[in-house]
């Protein structure tokens, strides 16, 4: 940013967007909320925001964790208010990201009042409140034509942690569905209050814990029994309490019927390539956390690159070892005013279906693709096809495996190994999967050896022997195994086969009841 633009920015007031993220499922945020995250310069968030939602944020945004937790407020509300005003006065566009809806017991009204008083422009972007979204994911309709014609949303927690003044009589006599938010620590007292005002001890009640996540669960009882059942189940926040006839509803358990329900899966592909795999996993019921451990950084300058692209017509073969290589190469040609005509005479090799798909989107069908999608088999197939003396161009990552080059040179080819992008490592400060990894309820998916290395660097002190790694290709699996992970390898190096591996493992675990599949080498 130039000094002039920076000065102009400091002279204007920014804007604050109070955005509801919905419950924890990343796909429950609104389209507008997602767009604002992508455009935000500052994102102020707390605990009830799912980690996956934060990945919609701009890479250049500054993230401020105000992490409110049950019984522990590391940053007081007054200080949060000051942060919003301060950042907006710097000329920043600020997203204040809240779980659920910002105005349903989210203190969004208080923050809006502070902003209005300070003269800060603001907008409110509604979100799906947990009072409705969580019951939906656990098969409970909060209204039902035959069972409940009204919904009462009640907080069971005051600012100081004590029980608020709840008008139990009106709730006990009003009928309909009652949803208590933030009530885990006061569950027993709340049920006693309802019983004391005449509610039947046999009225159905349920506690819904960690709704819309892979760890969600439903404890069903009655007003007279639910406190004891929740205590025995060791329920923890976040959880909501639901009272009414709909709590006993048993005909809508759609979420748990999907094959990967109850499974959290970490996707480590680069940000621009993770969406397809994440969508496939979510379709099967998994909770997906997209945390790219690497990013693609194009090499845009340098004599070797300029010389190779200027003389691309002199080559007989061009070999692509990744979709990223295709994308970066295409863009570099475009910058030099070259198009597909400059490659018309070339034979093209691709390492696998993903790379071939990227080429087809460009208008090319590969002349050669190995039956097994890895570098060894690509090198073997090329060595049998390339004529001695032919020039071969391999535009790929700077740290590419040299075995492919060696095989081609042994076959008499004249190889130009052209680095067109670097693989750089990302960090993800929001990862909170340690407990899930240790219990086996979270798996990590790796599509290349570099994604494994990036994960190891970012995971810090995580016990990697507790990590279940689902891998594409033997090289990727080998890297994960050397790091100490429990490794599983897809039958073929495709995303569909990787998802099928997860489905197979989920079936095996359900059938044998042991809770974990046997890794590579132990089957």
Active site residues: 46, 68, 182
Q: What angle do CA 95, 47, 177 make, to 5 degrees?
A: 100
The Cβ of residue 81 has, within 10 Å, a number of other Cβ atoms equal to 19
- Pick from 133, 79, 127: nearest CA to 106: 127
Q: Are 302 and 422 in contact (CB under 8 A)?
A: no
Question: Token pair of 217, please?
Answer: 């669960």
Q: Are 501 and 518 in contact (CB under 8 A)?
A: no
Distance CA 456, CA 293 (A): 9
Q: Buried (b) or exposed (e) across 150-167, using 16+ Cβ within 10 A? A: ebbbbbbbeeeeeeeebe
Distance CA 32, CA 55 (A): 15
In three state form, how does the secondary structure of 449-462 look?
Answer: HHHHHHHHHHCCCC
Q: Are 426 and 455 in contact (CB under 8 A)?
A: no
Q: What angle do CA 192, 197, 201 make, to 5 degrees?
A: 55
- Pick from 68, 212, 62: nearest CA to 137: 212
Q: Are 17 and 36 in contact (CB under 8 A)?
A: yes
DSSP symbols for 240-278: EEEESGGGG--S---GGGSTTTT-EEEE-S-GGGSHHHH
Residue 169 burial class via C-beta count within 10 angstroms: exposed 0-12, middle 13-18, buried 19 and up: middle
3-state secondary structure of 296: strand
Distance CA 309, CA 289 (A): 38
């Amino acid at each position: 940013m130039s000094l002039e633009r920076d000065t102009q920015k400091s002279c204007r007031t920014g804007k604050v967007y109070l955005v509801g993220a919905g419950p924890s499922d990343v796909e429950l945020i609104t389209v507008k909320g997602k767009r604002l995250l992508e455009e935000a310069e500052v994102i102020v968030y707390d605990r009830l925001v799912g980690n996956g939602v934060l990945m919609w944020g701009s890479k250049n945004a500054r993230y401020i964790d105000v992490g409110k937790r049950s019984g522990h407020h590391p940053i007081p509300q007054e200080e949060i208010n000051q942060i919003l005003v301060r950042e907006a006065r710097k000329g920043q566009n600020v997203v204040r990201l809240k779980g659920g809806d910002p105005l349903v017991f989210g203190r969004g009204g208080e923050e809006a009042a502070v902003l209005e008083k300070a003269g800060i422009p603001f907008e409110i972007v509604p979100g799906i409140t947990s009072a409705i979204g969580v019951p939906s994911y656990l098969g409970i309709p909060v209204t039902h034509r035959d069972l409940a014609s009204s919904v009462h949303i009640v907080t069971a927690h005051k600012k100081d942690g004590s029980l608020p003044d709840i008008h139990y009589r009106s709730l006990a006599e009003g009928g309909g569905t009652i949803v208590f938010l933030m009530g885990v620590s006061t569950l027993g007292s709340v049920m006693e209050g309802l019983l004391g005002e005449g509610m039947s001890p046999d009225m159905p009640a349920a506690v819904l814990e960690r709704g819309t996540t892979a760890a969600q669960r439903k404890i069903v009882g009655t007003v007279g029994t639910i406190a004891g059942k929740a205590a025995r189940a060791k329920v923890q926040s976040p959880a909501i309490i639901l009272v009414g006839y709909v709590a006993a509803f048993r005909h809508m358990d759609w979420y748990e019927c999907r094959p990967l329900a109850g499974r959290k899966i970490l996707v480590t592909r680069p940000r621009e390539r993770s969406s397809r795999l994440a969508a496939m996993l979510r379709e099967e019921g998994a909770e997906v956390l997209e945390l790219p451990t690497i990013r693609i950084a194009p090499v845009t300058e340098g004599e070797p690159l300029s010389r190779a692209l200027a003389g691309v017509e002199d080559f007989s073969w061009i070999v692509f070892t990744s979709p990223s290589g295709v994308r970066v190469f295409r863009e570099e040609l475009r910058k030099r005013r070259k198009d597909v005509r400059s490659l018309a005479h070339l034979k093209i090799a691709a390492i696998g279906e993903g790379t071939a798909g990227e080429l087809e989107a460009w208008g090319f069908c590969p002349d050669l693709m190995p039956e097994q999608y890895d570098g060894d088999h690509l090198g073997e197939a090329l060595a049998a096809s390339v004529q001695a003396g032919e020039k071969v161009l391999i535009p790929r990552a700077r740290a590419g495996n040299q075995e492919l080059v060696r095989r081609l040179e042994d076959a008499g080819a004249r190889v130009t190994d052209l680095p067109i992008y670097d693989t750089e490592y990302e960090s993800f400060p929001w990862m909170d999967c340690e407990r899930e990894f240790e219990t086996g309820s979270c798996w990590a998916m790796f599509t290349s050896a570099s994604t494994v290395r990036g994960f190891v660097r970012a995971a810090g002190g995580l016990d990697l022997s507790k990590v279940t790694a689902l891998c594409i290709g033997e090289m990727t699996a080998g890297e994960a195994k050397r790091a100490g992970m429990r490794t599983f390898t897809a039958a073929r190096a495709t995303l569909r086969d990787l998802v099928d591996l997860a489905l197979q493992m989920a079936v095996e675990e359900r059938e044998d009841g042991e809770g974990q599949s046997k890794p590579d080498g132990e089957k």
